[in-house]
Amino acid sequence: MPADGSPQAAAKAGKTYYLPKGLHARLKAGWWATREHPTLSAVVSSVFETESARLEREHNDGHPFPIATAPLGPRARGVDGESHTYYLPLAVHERFVSAWAGTRTQPDAAASVSARAAELLEAEAARLEREFNAGNLFPPAPPGARGVDPAVARQQGETMSRIWQKRRSKK
């Protein structure tokens, strides 16, 4: 927590995954139509956290896997895909990569982190369509569709409040 006592947002970074063409748009349409999470990145983060916890329970006595440091293998091959970047808490991305790395020798393991991300995000898009749209695809999200991360919005509001307070006190 910072010295001023305000909550600190988790460090986030853009993390890129190689996904089949159209999957990002399908997931974004489902998120936009349902708004189960404040942002599309929050959907991805939730999916990755759930999968990491499952792998830890099933393959590591419920404990986090050691942070993956070795090269993580090839990019998904044979997929007509595109790169997409999501802004995730660093800890979520590291935990997801480490869980994949810790279980990649399992018979049903994906060939790469991106391949596993694609499988999970495909399943999430299908879940949203099933639960909220009778199994049908959602119409595309508007090109400028953006969510608002409540923690970041709160932090921005607090920062702006301090700036205006300083300006007022100088008068």
Q: pLDDT tens for residues 60-103?
A: 999 999 998 765 655 555 567 889 999 999 999 999 999 999 99
Tell how far CA 157 is from the center of its chain: 24
Provide the token pair at 7: 């909550």
Q: What is the mean pLDDT of the chain?
A: 86
Q: Measuring CA to CA, which residue among 14, 28, 116 is closest to residue 37?
A: 28
Distance CA 31, CA 142 (A): 12
Tell how far CA 60 is from the center of its chain: 23
Give the pLDDT confidence score for residue 79 in this predicted structure.
62
Distance CA 27, CA 4 (A): 38
Our separate counts of H helices and E strands in the chain read: 5, 2
Query: What pLDDT band is residue 4 in, cutting at 50, 70 and 90?
Result: very low
Q: pLDDT tens for residues 13-41?
A: 889 999 999 999 999 999 999 999 989 99
Q: Has residue 123 got a pLDDT over 90?
A: yes
